[in-house]
Amino acid sequence: MKKIVHYVNQFYGQIGAEEAAGQKPLLCDGPVGPGTGLSALFKEEAEITATIICGDNYFADNQSEALGEILSMIEEIKPDMVIAGPGFNAGRYGLACGTICYEVKKRFSIPVLTALYPENPGAEMFHSKIYIVETAISAGGMRKTLPVMSALALKLLNGEEIGFPEEEGYIPQGFRVNVHTEKNGAERGVDMLIKKLKGEPFVTELPMPVFDRVKPAPAVKDMAHAKIALITSGGIVPQGNPDHIPSANAGIFGTYDISECENLTGQEYMTVHGGYDPVYATEDPDRVLPLDAVREIEKEGGIGELFGKYYSTVGNTTAVSSAKKFAEEIAQDLLRNNVQAVILTSN
What is the model's pLDDT at position 132?
98
What is the model's pLDDT at position 206?
77
pLDDT in tens, 256-300: 999 999 999 999 999 999 877 888 998 999 999 999 999 999 999
User: 2-168 domain in CATH 3.40.50.1000?
Assistant: no
pLDDT in tens, 1-50: 899 999 999 999 999 988 898 999 999 999 999 999 999 999 889 999 99
Asked if 236 and 271 count as a contact pair (C-beta separation under 8 A), the reply is yes
Query: Quick one: residue 33, left, alpha or beta (phi over 0 = left, psi -120 to 50 = alpha)?
Result: left
What is the model's pLDDT at position 127?
95
Surface-to-core class of residue 22, CB atoms within 10 Å of its CB (0-12 exposed, 13-18 middle, 19+ buried):
middle
Query: Quick one: residue 147, left, alpha or beta (phi over 0 = left, psi -120 to 50 = alpha)?
Result: alpha
Residues constituting the chain: 347
pLDDT in tens, 54-86: 999 999 889 999 999 999 999 999 999 999 999
Domain chopping of the chain, boundaries:
2-168, 223-345
What is the model's pLDDT at position 154?
97
